[in-house]
Amino acid sequence: MQSLSVRLTIAILLVVVVRLISLGAYPLMDTTEARYGEMARIMVDTGNWLTPQFDYGVPFWGKPPMQTWVSAFSGNLFSINEFFLRLPHLISGLLTLAIVGYVAKRKGISPYLSILTLLTTVGFYIASGALMTDSLLALAMTISMVGFYFAWEGHDKNSAYLGFAGIGFGLLIKGPVIIVLIGIAVVPWIITNYGLLEGFRQFWRRIPIFSGLALALIISAPWYLLAEQATPGFLDYFIIGEHWSRFTVSGWEGDLYGSAHDEIKGTIWWYWLYTAFPWSLFAVYLLVNQSKRKQMFKDKVNRRWNSFLLFWVISPMVLFTFAGNILQMYVLPGIPALALFIVSGMQTFRRLEYLLCSITPIAVLALITAASPLLYEKSDTALFENIDKSMPVYYEGKPTFSGRYYTSGKALNLNDHKDELVPPYYVVVSKSRMVATNKNISGCNYVSENRKRILVECLGISISSESSTSF
């Protein structure tokens, strides 16, 4: 048994090391990573740690500041680059793994298998180290749900306050959605296992709801009040727009920071199937296999534990089933519970399960090495590798987030600055637009290109339709 634990520990460390090495191996990609990377860079550059900025002087109301804070702190402490901007998000993933391992040990199931299962889930592995809000939200959700469960089972108010602290941090990560997710998981679980009246009587007896919510507000409310004071209108946009219109109005046009997604209702379940791969398939197997299902729900103790995990797993999908404006990583807050559910049901792993554990890290490593050119195509970093940093950079249109980040915020919209152009300067032009309009840029020299864009150095710029684009 000890030798198995050693082997599993080595396997876990190897998988973590692969992800750690990968953090700086590819550029910040448009649009999400590059956007948050640029916001963190601006926060460090301006010293404005209160209000995340979409651009210099433009407040970002789409999310609370936590993901910008942690990346900016890391960048300010070490260096503004891909590795250190992503590092806090890997750390948040590792903290989630540690909590899952602790819970597994307390519940008498293998902490090593629980950690390895979670770590090798595709969505979790990618998000742990990606410049997004999702890894942090999964951590806050895990803290909150674990705190609630141990407070309920052990009548432990300290665990309850830990859970409410998780809610407070969740409010600073993605806002009130964490309360909704917890409610969707906890309320059905209470009613199913204790009945409506008895369940809520026990809830008021075991959970310090008022003092707990006060703690959550002490953690989060000061920032919300200061943010509204600094940029009036924030609360209306964030609470109503981002938490109601975004999910109830398909193709919502009120998004200030991009285009809304318009997916078919129920798509979130398909997202879960491949974001939680390969373990989503095992979860389905455990539920449809009669003997496994009976074993997991055979008595009151097992039924309460496994139903708690199951409600936690599906809470994001329940919330977003009727939403059209969704992303794949919205399922992530339930993934830690999936790992515990799998190990609770499987108990031990066979050769097949161990082989599946290797799929995710190998696939990520292969993607970074073999498909590196594809990753670079989602970023404009290659355009600016050999430029004169002192020269201004213009985009023929709105600059990409990666363009802004990799020029340290110098990339500007050419159309907004035509009257103040002083050569020499760089211009980024769209390949497809130039070919479609049969335009040629004269007085400019070719510098670099990627799949979508060309960078030229200009002494002056004039665009004519006399010939095809050539350099």
pLDDT tens, 350-389?
666 666 666 666 776 666 665 566 677 789 998 999 899 9
| Res 258: pLDDT | 61
Please, are residues 125 and 119 in contact by the beta-carbon 8 Å criterion?
Answer: yes
pLDDT score recorded for residue 19: 92
- 112 and 158 both lie in a single domain: yes
pLDDT at 149 over 50: yes
Q: Are residues 326 and 429 in the same domain?
A: no
Report which listed range, 32-41, 253-262, 276-285, 361-370, is most confident. Answer: 32-41
Are 367 and 390 in the same domain?
no
pLDDT surpasses 60 at 406: yes
d(CA 2, CA 59): 54
pTM of the model: 0.91
Length of the chain: 471
Taking the C-alpha atoms of residue 60 and residue 54, their distance in angstroms, rounded to an integer, is 5
Question: For strand 393-395 and strand 440-449, is the pairing parallel, antiparallel, or unpaired?
Answer: unpaired
- 237 domain residue, yes or no: yes
Confidence of residue 413 (pLDDT cuts 50, 70, 90): very high
Last residue of a domain, one of 311, 338, 373: 373
> Contact 226/50 with Cβ under 8 angstroms?
yes
Mean pLDDT, the chain, whole residue set: 88
In this structure, are 128 and 250 located in the same domain?
yes
94 occurs within a structural domain: yes
Same domain, 49 and 86: yes
- Residue 167 located in a structural domain: yes
Same domain, 318 and 396: no
Q: Looking at the domain assignment, is residue 270 inside a domain?
A: yes
> Which of 349, 373, 397 is the last residue before a domain boundary?
373
Amino acid identity at 27: P
| Residue 16 within a domain | yes
Residues whose CB is less than 8 angstroms from the CB of residue 301 and which lie 6 or more positions away in sequence, other chains included: none
Bridging pattern class, strands 453-464 and 425-430: antiparallel
Contact between residue 407 and residue 393 where contact means Cβ atoms under 8 Å apart = yes
Query: Rounded to an integer, what distance in angstroms lies between the CA atom of residue 128 and that of residue 95?
Result: 10
3-state DSSP percent of the chain in helix, strand and coil, to 5 = 65, 10, 25
Concatenated DSSP letters for 271-300?
Answer: HHHHHTTTHHHHHHHHHH-HHHHHHHTSSH
Distance from C-alpha of 271 to C-alpha of 335, rounded to nearest angstrom: 12
**Are the C-beta atoms of residues 425 and 412 closer than 8 Å to each other?**
no
Confidence tier at 260 by pLDDT (50, 70, 90): low
| Residue predicted with more confidence, 466 or 417 | 417
| pLDDT at 66 exceeding the cut of 70 | yes
Asked if 401 and 366 sit in the same domain, the reply is no
- Would you say residue 469 lies in a domain? no
Confidence of residue 36 (pLDDT cuts 50, 70, 90): very high
Q: What is the mean pLDDT of residues 413-439?
A: 80
Contact between 36 and 71 (Cβ < 8 Å): yes
Regarding whether 395 and 332 lie in a shared domain, the answer is no
CA atoms of 354 and 346, how far apart (whole Å):
12
Q: How many domains does the chain have?
A: 2
More confident residue, 236 or 64: 64
Local structure of residue 331 (DSSP, 8 states): G
Q: In this structure, are 148 and 192 located in the same domain?
A: yes
- Residues 405 and 347 grouped into a single domain: no
Q: Does 438 reside within a domain?
A: yes
- Residue 437: which domain range? 381-464
244 located within any domain: yes
Contact 285, 292 (CB under 8 A): yes
Last residue of a domain, one of 373, 397, 419: 373
Tell whether 363 and 432 lie within a shared domain. no
Q: Which residues pair with residue 457 across a beta bridge?
A: 426, 445
Query: What is the rounded distance in angstroms from the CA atom of residue 392 to the CA atom of residue 426?
Result: 6
Rounded-to-integer distance, Cα 398 and Cα 75, Å: 26
Same-domain check for residues 351 and 295: yes
Residues 296, 351: Cα–Cα separation, whole Å: 22
* Residue 467 reports pLDDT greater than 50: no
470: confidence class by pLDDT, cuts 50, 70, 90: very low
